[in-house]
Structure 1
Amino acid sequence: MKVFCVGGSVRDALLGRPSSDRDWVVVGASPEQLLALGYQPVGKDFPVFLHPQTHEEYALARTERKTAPGYHGFAFHAAPDVTLEQDLARRDLTINAMARDETGQLHDPYGGERDLHDKVLRHVSPAFAEDPVRILRLARFSARFHDFTVAPETLDLMRQMVAAGEVDALVAERVWQEISRGLMEAQPSRMFELLREVGALERLAPEIARLFGVPQPEAHHPEIDTGVHLMMVLDQCARLAAPLPVRYACLCHDLGKGLTPAEALPRHIGHEGRGVPLARRLSERWRVPGDCRELAELMAREHTHVHQSGSFGPEARLRLMERCDAWRRPERFEQLLLACECDARGRLGLEDRDYPQRPRLQRDLQALRALDLGAVSAAALAAGKTGPAIGRAVQAARLQALNQFP
Structure 2
Amino acid sequence: MQVYLVGGAVRDALLGREIKERDYVVVGATPEQLINQGFQQVGKDFPVFLHPKTKEEYALARTERKQGQGYTGFICDFTPEVTLEQDLIRRDLTVNAIAQAEDGSLVDPFGGQDDIKKRVLRHVSDAFSEDPLRILRVARFAARYHYLGFTIAPETKQLLIAMVKAGELTTLTAERVWLEFEKSLSDGAFSDFLNVLASIGGLSVISAELEKQWNEDTYKTLKARFDYANNHQLHDTALLFSQVTLSLSSQEINSIANTIRLPNEVRDLAINAQTHQAVLASEQPSCDEVFNCFNQLDLWRRPERFKQVLKVLEISLQHPVPCHESLTLAANQAKAVNPQQFIAQGIKGADIKTALEQARLSAISRYFS
**Corresponding position of 1:400:** 362
**Corresponding position of 1:339:** 312
**Corresponding position of 2:136:** 136
**1:324-376 residue CA offsets vs partner (Å, 9 max, x unmatched):** 1223222222111111122234xxxxxxx66323343223223333x241xxx
CA contact (8 A) 2:279 2:285 kept: no
C-alpha distance in structure 2 between counterparts of 1:226 and 1:9, whole Å: 33
Give the C-alpha shift of residue 397 in structure 1: 1.9
TM alignment of 1:93-242, pairs within 5 A: 93-146=93-146, 147-212=149-214, 225=217, 229-230=221-222, 232-242=224-234
Corresponding position: 1:319 with 2:300: no
Q: Secondary structure at the match of 2:189?
A: coil
Q: Aligned to 1:364, which of 330, 334, 338? A: 330
Root mean square deviation of aligned Cα: 1.9
Give the C-alpha shift of residue 231 in structure 1: 5.1
Give the C-alpha shift of residue 250 in structure 1: 1.7
**1:91-129 residue CA offsets vs partner (Å, 9 max, x unmatched):** 111111111111111111111122222211111111111
C-alpha distance in structure 2 between counterparts of 1:380 and 1:55, whole Å: 59
**Corresponding position of 1:280:** 254
**Corresponding position of 1:301:** 275
CA contact (8 A) 1:115 1:122 kept: yes
Give the C-alpha shift of residue 241 in structure 1: 3.3
Give the C-alpha shift of residue 135 in structure 1: 0.9
TM alignment of 1:258-273, pairs within 5 A: none
CA contact (8 A) 2:280 2:321 kept: no
**Which one-letter code corresponds to 1:362 in the other structure?**
T
C-alpha distance in structure 1 between counterparts of 2:250 and 2:351, whole Å: 34
**1:205-252 residue CA offsets vs partner (Å, 9 max, x unmatched):** 110001135xxxxxxxxx8x5565455444444444331111112222
TM-score, with length taken from structure 2:
0.93
C-alpha distance in structure 2 between counterparts of 1:254 and 1:45, whole Å: 46
**Corresponding position of 1:386:** 348
CA contact (8 A) 2:195 2:219 kept: no
**Corresponding position of 1:46:** 46
C-alpha distance in structure 2 between counterparts of 1:115 and 1:367, whole Å: 59
**Corresponding position of 1:245:** 238
C-alpha distance in structure 1 between counterparts of 2:182 and 2:328, whole Å: 27
Give the C-alpha shift of residue 292 in structure 1: 0.7
C-alpha distance in structure 2 between counterparts of 1:359 and 1:126, whole Å: 57
CA spacing shift, 1:156–1:227, aligned 2, 3 Å: same
**Corresponding position of 2:29:** 29
**Corresponding position of 2:302:** 329
* Matched residue count: 365
Q: Secondary structure at the match of 1:251?
A: helix
Q: Secondary structure at the match of 1:24?
A: strand
TM-score, with length taken from structure 1:
0.85
C-alpha distance in structure 1 between counterparts of 2:17 and 2:281, whole Å: 39
CA contact (8 A) 2:184 2:190 kept: yes
Q: Percent identity?
A: 43
Q: Secondary structure at the match of 2:63?
A: strand
Give the C-alpha shift of residue 51 in structure 1: 1.6
CA contact (8 A) 1:94 1:124 kept: yes
Give the C-alpha shift of residue 81 in structure 1: 1.0
Q: Secondary structure at the match of 2:316?
A: helix
**1:147-173 residue CA offsets vs partner (Å, 9 max, x unmatched):** 311111111010010011101101112
**Deviant stretches of 4+, over 3 Å:** 225-241, 357-360
User: Any unmatched runs of 5+ in structure 1?
Assistant: 214-222, 256-274, 346-352
**Which one-letter code corresponds to 2:145 in the other structure?**
F
C-alpha distance in structure 2 between counterparts of 1:360 and 1:372, whole Å: 17
Q: Secondary structure at the match of 1:18?
A: coil
Q: Secondary structure at the match of 2:281?
A: helix
Give the C-alpha shift of residue 177 in structure 1: 0.6
User: Any unmatched runs of 5+ in structure 2?
Assistant: none
CA spacing shift, 1:103–1:226, aligned 2, 3 Å: closer
